[in-house]
Structure 1
C-alpha cells in the first residue's frame, strides 16, 4: 500500500491499494477538546468529490466529536476515529475492526441514520 502526504483541500494523507483508496484528515487536538462540525464539513466536502476516496477517515487525538460533527460523519459514511480508537489502531487493531465503532467510546451498537 502506498501512502502519500497531501496537505491540500482538507486531506492530510492518502493510501491505496488496487481495490480501495483511503483519504484521511488528521487533527492534533488536546484531549479535552472536541472536533467541531465545521472541521467535519470541510472534510466531507472534499474527501470523495475532490479526492475520490472509497474510505474517508477523520482521525483526531482528542476524545470526542461534537454531536453535529458525528451525526454528519455517520450520515456521510466518514469513519470518525477519536483518541481511544486511534490508540487501538496504533497498537495493531485492524482498521476494519474499528469502523463499526465509528466515533463511539467502545459502544459497538450501530448508530441510527
Structure 2
C-alpha cells in the first residue's frame, strides 16, 4: 500500500506579515509625532510671548556653529602645516645624506654585488638575489672563467635562454637560470621547455640549466637523455668557490649536479 506524498509549500525569502509588530510601530510613530508637535507648539508660544529670548538663542546657536567651524579649520590648517614641515625636513636630510655620500661607492644591497662598468660581477649570496640579479651573477661566473661574448638575454620572449656565452674552447654555451627556493625543485617540465629551444633555436653546443635549488629525478633523467648539464646548489657553490668545474666542462658527465 502506497502512502500519498505530502505536499510541502515552497519557502520564499519574504517575511510573513506580523500584525503585532506593525501595530507597535505605528503606536510609537504616533507618540513621536505627538511629542514633536507639543515641542513645536511650546516653542511657538514662547516665541510669541518673548520674541527677544528666541532671537538671542538663535544668535547664540549661530555663533556656536561659526566658532566650531573656525576652530576646526584652524586645527586642520595647523595639522597640514606640521605635516608639510616634517616632509620638508625629511627631504632636506635625505638630500644632505646623498650629497655627503662618497661618489665612488659601489652599488650594493647587503652582501650581493651588481655589475660594474667592466662587465658582470659574481655574488656571494645567491639566496639574496632576485631572478634578474641571479642571471647577471651567473654571467659574471662565465666571464671570470674565461668566456667571451657573455650576454644576459633573459626576459619576455627569451625562449628559454637567460645567458649566452662562448666558452674558452670556442663552444657556444646557452644557460637557463632558475632562482628557486630549497622547497621548489626544478621539474622535468622545466627541462623539457628548455630542451625544446636550447639546441634548435639557440644553436647551443653546451646547454646548461643552473638553479639555486635542486632537480627532481625525472628532470635529471630527461637532462641525461637530451645532453643538458644540470647545475644545482652544490655544483653552483663549487663553481663559485673554484672547487668544482665550470658547466661546459661537465658535458661528458651530463646530469652530475
1:51 aligns with 2:198: no
**CA shift at 1:75, angstroms?**
0.3
Structure 1, unaligned stretches of length 5 or more? Answer: 105-113
**Structure holding more strand per residue:** 1
Q: Which has the larger radius of gyration?
A: 2
Report the aligned-residue RMSD.
1.9
Contact 1:85 1:98 in 2 (8 A): no
TM-score of the superposed pair, with normalisation by structure 2 = 0.38
| Greater relative contact order structure (CA < 8 Å, 6+ sep) | 1
What is the number of residues matched between the two proteins? 103
**CA shift at 1:5, angstroms?**
1.1
Equivalence map 1:1-113=2 (5 Å)? 1-7=148-154, 8-17=158-167, 19-62=170-213, 64-92=214-242, 93-95=244-246, 96=249, 100=253, 102-104=255-257
Superposition misfits of 4+ residues, deviation over 4 angstroms? none
**Structure holding more helix per residue:** 2
1:25-76 deviation per Cα after TM superposition (whole angstroms, max 9, x unaligned): 00000023210111111100000100000000000000x2111111110000
TM-score of the superposed pair, with normalisation by structure 1 = 0.82
Contact 1:13 1:25 in 2 (8 A): yes
**CA shift at 1:100, angstroms?**
2.7
Structure 2, unaligned stretches of length 5 or more? Answer: 1-147
Going from structure 1 to structure 2, the CA distance change for 1:97 and 1:54 (only over 3 Å counts) comes to closer
